[in-house]
Amino acid sequence: MKIISQNFKLLAVFLLAITFTSCSDDDDNGTTTPTTVVDIALANNLTSLAAALQATDLVTTLQGDGPFTVFAPTNAAFADLLAATGLDLDNLSTTEEDLVRNILLNHVIIGETINSTALVTAGSGYASTGATGPNGENLSLYFNTTSGVVLNGVSTVDNADNMASNGIVHIVDEVIGLPTIATFATTNPALSTLVDALVYADTGAPTVPYIETVSDATAGPFTVFAPTNDAFSGLLTELNVSGLSDLGTETVNAVLLYHIVNANVQSSQLPNGTVTTLGGDITADNTAFTLTDANGRVSNIIVSLVDIQSMNGVVHVIDKVILTPQ
């Protein structure tokens, strides 16, 4: 009932805003009040989003100059979130308010107006949102347009390209939760073999429970050097085996550890020298953007796929699997 009450209050405010805008359109200067992304949200009856913005003091922010690209959840999407979390927008603790604010900012790309044509043309990729994770780094958002515009594998754009004076609003059918390393590993099809390797290692006696750890937003933070599917295919050819199961879980576990650093290391923070992973030392060249293992094998860090930031760490994609000393 509190949410319903809040929505009615916001609608009343909205009606007052319309009246004020109408009056201001006819003022002596002939000026027109800008239609911001907040106005677009209200015009589309996204009253739960408006209530959440009000509860977290983000209304003024999104009425600013921007530009903003906003992925705006429907009322039904917010109802699902509130039911799942038990949050009450009328009675948020300081911690809960910070959480809801970060979730809302995870739907906002600041400094860009990205329309659906640009997203579809790109096909897939990552953008930085206004939400923050470890060390205040901005969280990433993964989009894929293979079947509609899907965000972080969970939220689909239903109503695109609602233009505002300070940006653009795309209405989505699910709230986009704060991502983990697992979010980005499982949603990008180019990293599916890495997920298979993590699952396979977990069937043995892993040093850490991989899937559980990368899915835990409170774990870490870690840096993961994530080999592509092609990198794993190249490894199988190099080792003359047909599949990961030919290597044994102990071997896969040992190899995976060489891809994980126990810290959130952005690409700009990579050293020119030794990098200590959970498995042992490798060597980074922060000019050539490469990693060299103990066997002298060189992995290139893919420059367009770095700094994929989540709540429990950052991912940099590489083109060759790092091996244990042979």
Do 69 and 190 have their domain in common? Answer: no
Number of domains in the chain: 2
189/277 same-domain check = yes
Are residues 269 and 301 in contact, defined by beta-carbon separation less than 8 angstroms?
A: no
Judgement on whether residues 210 and 245 belong to the same structural domain of the protein:
yes
Does some domain include residue 167?
Answer: yes
In-domain check, residue 292: yes
Residues 163 and 303 in one domain: no
Q: Which pLDDT band holds residue 3 (cuts at 50, 70, 90)?
A: very low
Span 284-293, average pLDDT: 97
pLDDT digits (tens, 9 = 90+) for 14-37: 433 443 344 334 444 444 556 999
pLDDT in tens, 45-65: 999 999 999 999 999 999 999
Q: Which of 158, 178, 198 is the last residue of a domain?
A: 178
Question: Is the domain of 172 the same as that of 191?
Answer: no
* Residue 87 placed within a domain: yes
pLDDT in tens, 113-141: 999 999 999 999 999 999 999 999 999 99
Cα–chain center distance at 322: 26
**CATH, residue 215:** 2.30.180.10
Give the model's pLDDT for residue 5: 36
Q: How far is CA 92 from CA 61, 85, 96, 237, in A?
A: 19, 12, 5, 55
In a domain? residue 262: yes
Return the pLDDT at 33: 59
**What share of the chain in percent tops pLDDT 90?**
87
Are residues 162 and 171 in contact, defined by beta-carbon separation less than 8 angstroms? yes
Looking at the structure, do residues 118 and 51 belong to the same domain, yes or no? Answer: yes
Q: At 319, is the secondary structure helix, strand, or coil?
A: coil
Q: Who's near 66: CB < 8 A, 6+ residues apart?
A: 37, 110, 111, 113, 166, 167
Residue 324 within a domain: no
CA angle 239, 244, 249 (to 5 degrees): 110
Per-residue pLDDT averaged across 143-168, rounded? 96
In which domain, by residue range, is 254 found? Answer: 182-318
Does 68 have pLDDT greater than 60? yes
Domain end, chosen from 163, 178, 193, is at: 178
| 2-25 helix and 75-85 helix, angle to the nearest 10 degrees | 150
Q: Give 134's strand partners.
A: none
DSSP labels, 291-323: EE-TTS-EEEB-GGG--EEETTEEEEEESS---
Give the pLDDT confidence of 293-318 residue by residue, as tens digits. 999 999 999 999 999 999 999 999 99
Helix 229-239 and helix 192-202, axial crossing angle in degrees, nearest 10: 60
Q: What is the value of pTM for the model shown?
A: 0.89
Predicted confidence band at 212 (pLDDT cuts at 50, 70, 90)? very high
User: By mean pLDDT, which of 63-67, 214-218, 252-256 is the weakest?
Assistant: 63-67
Q: What is the pLDDT of residue 8?
A: 37
Which residue, 116, 149, 178, sits at the end of a domain?
Answer: 178
**Are residues 124 and 60 part of one domain?**
yes
Asked if residue 323 is part of any domain, the answer here is no
Residue located via tokens 């809302």: 104
Q: Do 138 and 309 form a contact (C-beta atoms < 8 A)?
A: yes
**Do 206 and 306 share a domain, yes or no?**
yes
Same domain, residue pair 142 and 122: yes
H or E segment to which residue 19 belongs: helix 2-25
Same-domain check for residues 26 and 76: yes
Encode pLDDT of 168-210 as tens digits: 999 999 999 999 999 999 999 999 999 999 999 999 999 999 9
Q: Which helix (H) or strand (E) holds 224?
A: strand 222-227
Measured in degrees and rounded to the nearest 5, phi and psi for residue 250 equal -65, -40
Co-location of 307 and 207 in the same domain: yes
Residues 59 and 201 in one domain: no
